[in-house]
């Protein structure tokens, strides 16, 4: 819970200071707190924190959009979809904790509501939580009102678990479409609500059956070619959970740096916290 308390204090300070200086100060304080909590002196660690603003970057990820995050060479963002899943998500969290790395988890609403303690653990360990619909249908293949309901139900389920209120206004306005299957209407809807839509820059194709060794080879080859980017993985996949410690070692040995994403502080207020 230390990370959650730090976030409360820093976002309150950010609100008092104003939007521009607020982001820099709050992110620096959170980074200091996270570094102090890392007990592994040889850990990969999180190199910096990037505040993502829906106004300037409403849609990111080169697999789906022309724009991505402003990452430098050898910087990566780790993202995980489709959780939480009790058999594998704890293994992913353990691997990240061992290397003192923070990631972004795009949670499906239904399993989030079924495994609330695991959702709270993800947040308590300092990771960012976005949403990924209620039950993971293709939002481009269902009726428009059903697509909106899937988005809202997924958000409200996660908000209820984290904050006790089933609101459709996410405290972390990050969303990823299941299968990256959006429509112009749903994209416009999310942009109008100030919610950043995440694609990805590269992935391990871990939705396909493969061994951890095969996944590691595929992912490192793609990362070597790209040099940087938002990486998509799936924490419910057993081979991904098994592969992750080796991938984090690869990042460290090859001088990659992990960037942790957080929402930018709104100029008129702060995100609601528990």
For 101-137, the pLDDT digits (tens) are 999 999 999 999 999 999 999 999 999 999 999 999 9
Q: Are 44 and 197 in contact (CB under 8 A)?
A: no
Domain ranges of the chain: 1-37, 43-263
The larger pLDDT score, comparing residue 3 to residue 217, is at: 217
Q: Which of 127, 234, 239, 260 is the catalytic position?
A: 234
Q: Measured between alpha carbons, how far is 71 from 252 in angstroms, rounded to an integer?
A: 17
Mean model confidence pLDDT for the chain = 88
42 catalytic residue (yes or no): no
106: Cβ contacts below 8 Å, ≥ 6 apart = 79, 80, 81, 82, 130, 131, 132, 174, 175, 176, 198
Tally the residues of the chain. Answer: 274
For 141-191, the pLDDT digits (tens) are 999 999 999 999 999 999 999 999 999 999 999 999 999 999 999 999 999
Q: Enter the pTM of the model.
A: 0.86
- Residue carrying structure tokens 């207020």: 269
Q: Which CATH class is domain 43-263?
A: alpha beta
φ, ψ of residue 69 to 5 degrees: the values are: -75, 155
81 catalytic residue (yes or no): yes
Q: Measured between alpha carbons, how far is 223 from 196 in angstroms, rounded to an integer?
A: 24
For 66-98, the pLDDT digits (tens) are 999 999 999 999 999 999 999 999 999 999 999
Q: Which of 81, 152, 201, 206 is the catalytic position?
A: 81
Please classify residue 170 by burial: count the beta carbons closer than 10 Å to its beta carbon, then call 0-12 exposed, 13-18 middle and 19+ buried.
Answer: buried
């Amino acid at each position: 819970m230390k990370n959650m308390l730090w976030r409360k204090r820093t976002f309150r300070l950010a609100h008092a200071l104003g939007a521009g200086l607020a982001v820099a100060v709050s992110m620096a304080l959170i980074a200091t707190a996270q570094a102090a909590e890392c007990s592994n002196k040889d850990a990969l660690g999180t190199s910096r924190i990037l505040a993502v603003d829906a106004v300037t970057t409403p849609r990111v990820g080169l697999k789906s959009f022309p724009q991505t995050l402003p990452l430098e060479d050898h910087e990566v963002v780790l993202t995980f979809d489709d959780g939480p899943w009790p058999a594998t998500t704890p293994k992913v969290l353990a691997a990240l904790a061992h290397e003192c790395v923070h990631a972004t988890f795009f949670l499906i609403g239904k399993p989030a509501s079924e495994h609330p303690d695991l959702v709270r653990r993800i947040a308590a360990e300092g990771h960012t939580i976005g949403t990924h619909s209620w039950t993971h249908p293709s939002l481009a293949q269902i009726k428009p009102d059903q697509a909106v309901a899937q988005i809202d139900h997924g958000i409200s389920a996660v908000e209820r678990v984290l904050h006790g209120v089933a609101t459709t206004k996410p405290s972390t306005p990050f969303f990823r479409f299941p299968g990256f299957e959006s429509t112009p209407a749903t994209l416009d809807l999310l942009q109008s609500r100030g919610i950043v839509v995440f694609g990805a820059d590269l992935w391990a194709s871990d939705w396909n059956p493969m061994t951890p060794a095969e996944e590691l080879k595929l992912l490192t080859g793609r990362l070597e070619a790209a040099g940087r980017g938002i990486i998509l993985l799936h924490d419910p996949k057993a081979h991904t959970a098994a592969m992750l410690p080796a991938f984090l070692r690869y990042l460290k040995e090859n001088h990659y740096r992990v960037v942790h994403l957080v929402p930018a502080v709104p100029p008129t207020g702060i995100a609601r916290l528990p």
